[in-house]
Structure 1
Amino acid sequence: MAAAMRPFRVIVLAALGLASTGPLGAQTLDSIEPFRMLRSLQFVQDSVVLGDHSAADMQRFMLETIDSRLRSSDASVFEEPRNVDAALIYAMSGGNPATLEFLVARDVDGNFDNRVTDALRKYLSGKGTLIAKSLAEMVPEYRDQKIGPYLALVAGNVTITRDPAAALKFYDWARLTAPGTIVEEAALRRSLSITLDTGMVEKGAAYSNRYARRFLHSPYASQFADLFVRLVVDHFDKLDEQYILTTLSFMDEPRQREVYLRIARQAAINGNTELARLGASHAKALSGQVDDGMDALADLYGGVADVSTGSVEAAMQAILDISDENLSPSDRALRTAAQAVAEEVLRLPVMESPTQADSTTPVAVIPETASDDPTAMTAAERAAAPVPVADKPAGTSEEGTANDPAFQSFVDTGRSKLEEIDKLLNEESATR
């Protein structure tokens, strides 16, 4: 057994009332009732979601051990209702579905509720939507039983596509009756997902704050981070900035910085310049003294946000100064897309045709600057300068201008560039 498992082995064996030394023989395990073994599994699983990842190996060991015990148990063992509950909770806690089938087939005395076992067997075989209604009716009946929170969690899972509001009620009940457990962790995470899909921003903010306070060290916390970033980016206009700061304050600084960067990145892609700058500035403030490349990412996302402002040239130069070594392929694609946008913003259209150039018709020109090089103009000067447009010859309509070869070439070039930008951003979104 791995060294990381040893502390949990001692705790679990002590909980089972066994000696913590010597071999753990099959004959000894056969003397332990399943409900006592289940308590140890629950302790281990709750420890995992609370942050002790060394318990993960012990969780697998306990699942295998309980599976063996249930299969070898005499049918009379299940005359004890607590052992029936243990078998059902085991099945809903990542246990072997075939074991539940085995136990139900041997249940000639009717110790198992056929309604519950039938519902769970369908759920575990991927047919949960078929029993959503019947399971929802059973949840209140088992509300005060040991299996109650687990049944509520399963009921939420099978109801979510048909009735998200009802699923949310099941999850609320599950987490409130099993605080600090793997059931609460799963219920909170899935509740947050529902609120995002249904636009319940206030509820989503409350769920994410609770999750951040209780389960940030869960192995499933990365899923929460994905949902939280989505909540902030999609609904920033409805959220108080202080809420974001408070929720992230429960994280250590490296985690905070990672989430701020992810917010800045997605906000920059979505064109939310205010949020992109906010995320980038907070990430930069948390960088510390270690040069791990995160500063470069903050500069990139903040720079992408600034491309749409009046300081296009400065923002673009800052982005181009970032070394490729500090950027992933997807971030380099994002920079390329931002560069293409900046070039379109700065490029002045030239709409004179060769025919018009030979004409004696006067043409409006850009006023001369102090420099002979037009690129020396600032962005503000370019914005203020009149766009060069050829006067229309007598008898020429607006359609005639649009059909001009040079004009059409300009339009086609611009469309091609924008399509290229769209492609880059679509590729970027696909990598998330």
Structure 2
Amino acid sequence: MRGRLLRSVALTAILLPLMGFSAQAMAAQRQPYELVRELQNVQNSSATDGQTSRIEQRKRMAELAEALNSVDTAVWSQERNLRAAVIYVLSGGDPTILRRLIETKVDLAGLDRLVRGALAYSDRADKEALELLSGVDVEGLDRTIGGHVALVRAVLTVSEDQSKAFALFDRARVIAPGTIVEESALRRQAILAARMNELAIFEVLSSQYFRRFGNSIFARTFERQFAAEVVGRGYPVNEQRLSVVEEMLRDLPDEVRTHTCLALAEEGIVRANVEIVRFAARLAAIDAQTHPMFATRMRLFEASALLVTDQHDEGARALWSIDRSKLGVREEALLNAAFAVARAIAKSPTVAQAQAAQPQPASDAADNGQPVEELPIVGNAEAAMARADELLNGAP
């Protein structure tokens, strides 16, 4: 009995490494469409719950590039694998694989325009990419790739034909619901509606985005774009429009509403619009005990906005009460710029005299939805934020 047990243990010890090797070999032999499907699942998750960071996605992209470039050429005879390669590149992946397929004259199985169009898009040959992809019937494509193509065509078309681009964004959303394609299409479509001056549509689409993708890793980007359109399109002086925004934001989860209000306040600073900063602060209603960092940021924005009004002394005093340890790099840069402006104002003529010398009062410029020209706080804030963005967005 003891001998049989020992032999069994020994046999298991021998077989385990072989079993492990077999599993690794099987994993290495997975088809490109399977590998790309895994990437899509990760990207779709990042669009809905934001759990995967951009850095992690870039890492996965690099690993997938290596895997795709190492598979046997015969694998590309299958159309689903070719589609997967195109999806990978249109998702921001390394285009080397498509270039290799073209150079080695792999049979593209009727997907020639699609492959070449995706490669041109990745190479920033936009005119060529649009020409090639416009010849592709989006409706006739497999749904796994149709949404990607519609989205790319919309992006390439928007500068020439906004209405056509809007319709293509709509098509991408219908083809690929609940995916990163829909997230990207909806985010871009909402902002496009504002730029087409279709403000009611902008409001509806923005509300949809906040409700469906408020936790996306790209939500912060949308919040800044949304804020720029709200302030720039004259919402602060249109009570009816502003009430729609207020109702929309009140219905959002606390965290999404807070982030969006902070973005509105920041945009209010850039445009020297004190009222929109106050509106955002009131709407956010940030509990300083629960969210001290958010509360500090909002206080910074309110204080900075006051510097270009006759309440600049109050704004300067508020700046001194701000705890730097509760600020990020971006906000600390703004605080430094605000202090510089406060010192400059203290040495300059009175605000009333300065305003009298202005060809257009700050309040009028803000009311018209136009950037305030030549105000120190605007230039300094923008420069400081740009420097901070360069630091934060640099390579890790």
Q: Is the 8 A contact 1:287 1:295 kept in 2?
A: no
| Offset at residue 301 of structure 1 (A) | 5.5
SS of match in other structure, 1:281: helix
Is it true that 1:318 corresponds to 2:308 in the alignment?
Answer: no
Q: Is the 8 A contact 1:261 1:297 kept in 2?
A: no
Which amino acid letter does the alignment assign opposite residue 282 of structure 1?
Answer: L
Is it true that 1:286 corresponds to 2:286 in the alignment?
Answer: yes
Number of the residue aligned with 1:332: 339
Structure 2: segments with no counterpart, 5+ residues: 1-18, 323-333, 363-371, 386-396
Comparing 32-41 with 128-137, which one deviates more in the overlay?
128-137
SS of match in other structure, 2:172: helix
Number of the residue aligned with 2:215: 217
CA separation of 1:197 and 1:38: change in aligned 2, threshold 3 A: same
Q: Is the 8 A contact 2:158 2:164 kept in 1?
A: yes
Q: Is the 8 A contact 1:78 1:84 kept in 2?
A: yes
Equivalent residue in structure 2 for 1:165, among 163, 166, 171: 163
* Structure 1: distance between partners of 2:343 and 2:200: 37
Comparing 418-427 with 316-325, which one deviates more in the overlay?
418-427
Is it true that 1:256 corresponds to 2:252 in the alignment?
Answer: no
Structure 1: segments with no counterpart, 5+ residues: 1-20, 350-410
Q: Is the 8 A contact 2:261 2:283 kept in 1?
A: yes
Number of the residue aligned with 2:351: 344
Q: How does 1:29-68 map to 2 (within 5 A)?
A: 29-54=27-52, 59-60=57-58, 62-68=60-66
Number of the residue aligned with 2:178: 180
Is it true that 1:426 corresponds to 2:382 in the alignment?
Answer: no
Number of the residue aligned with 2:89: 91
Q: Is the 8 A contact 2:274 2:306 kept in 1?
A: no
| Offset at residue 54 of structure 1 (A) | 4.2
Higher helix proportion (structure 1 or 2): 2
TM-score, with length taken from structure 2? 0.72
Aligned residues: 339
Number of the residue aligned with 1:364: none
* Structure 1: distance between partners of 2:256 and 2:343: 28
| Offset at residue 339 of structure 1 (A) | 6.7
Number of the residue aligned with 1:245: 246
Q: Is the 8 A contact 1:195 1:201 kept in 2?
A: yes
Equivalent residue in structure 2 for 1:147, among 128, 145, 155: 145
Equivalent residue in structure 2 for 1:119, among 98, 117, 127: 117
Which amino acid letter does the alignment assign opposite residue 87 of structure 1?
Answer: A
* Structure 1: distance between partners of 2:266 and 2:60: 42
Number of the residue aligned with 1:206: 204
SS of match in other structure, 2:160: coil
CA separation of 1:322 and 1:342: change in aligned 2, threshold 3 A: farther
Number of the residue aligned with 1:297: 300
Q: Is the 8 A contact 2:189 2:205 kept in 1?
A: yes
Comparing 48-57 with 157-166, which one deviates more in the overlay?
48-57
* Structure 2: distance between partners of 1:277 and 1:270: 13
CA-to-aligned-CA distance 1:16-41 (integer Å, 9 cap, x gap): xxxxx957976323432222222211
* Structure 2: distance between partners of 1:338 and 1:268: 16
Q: Is the 8 A contact 1:51 1:217 kept in 2?
A: yes
CA-to-aligned-CA distance 1:316-339 (integer Å, 9 cap, x gap): 443232143527123335656777
Q: Is the 8 A contact 1:330 1:428 kept in 2?
A: yes
Number of the residue aligned with 2:278: 277
Which amino acid letter does the alignment assign opposite residue 176 of structure 1?
Answer: V
Number of the residue aligned with 1:192: 190
SS of match in other structure, 2:211: helix
CA-to-aligned-CA distance 1:329-354 (integer Å, 9 cap, x gap): 233356567778992327999xxxxx
Which amino acid letter does the alignment assign opposite residue 33 of structure 2?
Answer: F
SS of match in other structure, 2:93: coil
CA-to-aligned-CA distance 1:383-402 (integer Å, 9 cap, x gap): xxxxxxxxxxxxxxxxxxxx
* Structure 2: distance between partners of 1:36 and 1:316: 60
Q: Is the 8 A contact 1:149 1:178 kept in 2?
A: yes
Which amino acid letter does the alignment assign opposite residue 328 of structure 1?
Answer: L
Which amino acid letter does the alignment assign opposite residue 140 of structure 1?
Answer: V
Number of the residue aligned with 2:231: 233
Number of the residue aligned with 1:375: none
Q: Is the 8 A contact 1:119 1:128 kept in 2?
A: no
CA separation of 1:262 and 1:49: change in aligned 2, threshold 3 A: closer
SS of match in other structure, 1:94: coil
* Structure 2: distance between partners of 1:35 and 1:205: 38
Q: Is the 8 A contact 1:280 1:302 kept in 2?
A: no
| Offset at residue 224 of structure 1 (A) | 0.4
* Structure 1: distance between partners of 2:373 and 2:162: 39
Q: Is the 8 A contact 2:277 2:302 kept in 1?
A: no
* Structure 2: distance between partners of 1:274 and 1:58: 40
* Structure 2: distance between partners of 1:186 and 1:127: 21
* Structure 1: distance between partners of 2:306 and 2:37: 53
* Structure 1: distance between partners of 2:104 and 2:213: 39
| Offset at residue 85 of structure 1 (A) | 1.3
Q: State the superposition RMSD in angstroms.
A: 3.7
CA separation of 1:119 and 1:274: change in aligned 2, threshold 3 A: same
* Structure 2: distance between partners of 1:136 and 1:72: 31
CA-to-aligned-CA distance 1:228-287 (integer Å, 9 cap, x gap): 11122122145633432343346553553343244234335535454333223334x323
Q: Is the 8 A contact 2:258 2:286 kept in 1?
A: yes
Identity of matched residues, %: 24
CA separation of 1:316 and 1:97: change in aligned 2, threshold 3 A: closer
SS of match in other structure, 2:135: helix
* Structure 1: distance between partners of 2:345 and 2:230: 22
